[in-house]
Amino acid sequence: MYQPNKKRLWLPWLAGFLLITFLVLFFRYLGGILTPFIIAAVLAYILNPLVCKLEARHIKRGRASMWVMLLALFVIVSLLLVIVPMLIGQFQIIVRRIPELVDYTQTHALPWFNAKFGEYITLNSETVITWLRNNAQSIQQSLQKAMPILMQQSGAVAAGISNIILLPLLLYYFLLDWSRWEEGIRTLVPRRYLATYTRVTTEMDTVLGEFLRGQLLVMMIMGIFYGTGLMFIGLESGFAIGMVAGILVFIPYLGAFTGLLLATLAAILQFGSWGGLLAVWTVFLIGQLLESFLITPKIVGDRIGLSPFWVIFALMAFGQLLGFVGMLVALPLAAICLVLIHEGKNVYLNSKFYHREK
């Protein structure tokens, strides 16, 4: 009776492969309506330990779930109320100061560029300035029209996928039923595979939980650092730009690059001097060094295994396969695949096929 069971050791791997295939197809064909469910599920996964801690203090799970949901909703809405108006104001300032940007290009940027690189590349300032001046009004009008169009498109997309008011309700029910679902899935696992299931899911939870919760904390720290630093040097809307840079930290280097680009443009328009630019660049240089060598290694840790290369690849690959929904589930699926690859590697290295010399 033992030999047939040995021949069926591949069954759990087949089941895992079929499950991942089903999830990919499920997300692909139902992605249009899944976005609020996925956002709620990811938030519930991150916040579930807090609900469990409250439950351990003899607070009923329903009440604990409600409290945590309200706290998460308060934080998200507060950030939006602070960041969005600042970004809109900064956008309007940039639109109004396009003529100043043209003058700065003519009187500072082009002379400096030609002085440094003129013997290799010479820019025709008259042609550049003439084109900018001739098209400044149309550029300004186009930028002014862009925001309402984007808002209309965003509204159409939001209305198409789901009513955003569903998110708090979904988050509450995910938090309320999370433990029950975990136990239900565990009950369905065949007893002979229970040890393997427990080991693999525990490792998945460790990798995914530490990465997501760690990255969330890193995002908050870097957003506060960049925002406070830019406010300290006197940059208008510096806090909003810093928070955007912090939120995008989960995509390696994109947060710092986007924040640096926005802050540099704002500094050119506001300060118009090298001193202001150097102050902005110093804030982002210190922030990048702290994030790379201190904050991320200490909070997230190198042992999790999701390197910047795999994070970028997962976001691009699942985004290409599944669109916006793919980007939402990219990191969870990447963590699951990482654990399965490690598990498969261990099985292979411990197999008779690997150790047999002839």
Q: Which pLDDT tens digit goes with each residue over 203-227?
A: 888 877 777 778 888 888 988 999 8
Mean pLDDT of 120-142: 58
Q: Which residue has the higher pLDDT, 284 or 276?
A: 284
Q: Can you tell me the distance from the alpha carbon of 213 to that of 62, in angstroms, rounded to the nearest whole number?
A: 23
Per-residue pLDDT, 13: 65
Tell me the percentage of the chain whose pLDDT exceeds 70. Answer: 68
Q: Residue 179's pLDDT band (boundaries 50, 70, 90)?
A: confident
Per-residue pLDDT, 161: 46
Angstrom distances, CA of residue 275 to CA of 109, 190, 284, 287? 15, 67, 15, 18
Q: Residue 69's pLDDT band (boundaries 50, 70, 90)?
A: very high
Instruction: Please state, rounded to an integer, the average pLDDT across all residues of the chain.
Output: 75
Per-residue pLDDT, 225: 92
Q: Residue 104's pLDDT band (boundaries 50, 70, 90)?
A: low
Q: Residue 12's pLDDT band (boundaries 50, 70, 90)?
A: low
Per-residue pLDDT, 70: 92
Q: Which residue has the higher pLDDT, 278 or 78?
A: 278
Angstrom distances, CA of residue 137 to CA of 70, 106, 291? 46, 17, 41
- Buried b / exposed e over 6-22, threshold 16 CB at 10 Å, is eeeeeebeeebeeeeee
Per-residue pLDDT, 217: 86
Most confident of 47-51, 191-195, 232-236, 311-315: 47-51
Q: Residue 288's pLDDT band (boundaries 50, 70, 90)?
A: confident
Tell me the percentage of the chain whose pLDDT exceeds 90. Answer: 6
- Residue 242, pLDDT above cutoff 80: yes
Task: Report the 3 state secondary structure along 182-230.
Answer: HHHHHHHCCHHHHHHHHHHHHHHHHHHHHHHHHHHHHHHHHHHHHHHHH
The domain ranges of the chain are 17-188
Mean pLDDT lowest for which of 59-63, 113-117, 335-339?
113-117
- Residue 77, pLDDT above cutoff 50: yes
Identify the residue whose tokens are 């030609």.
Answer: 114
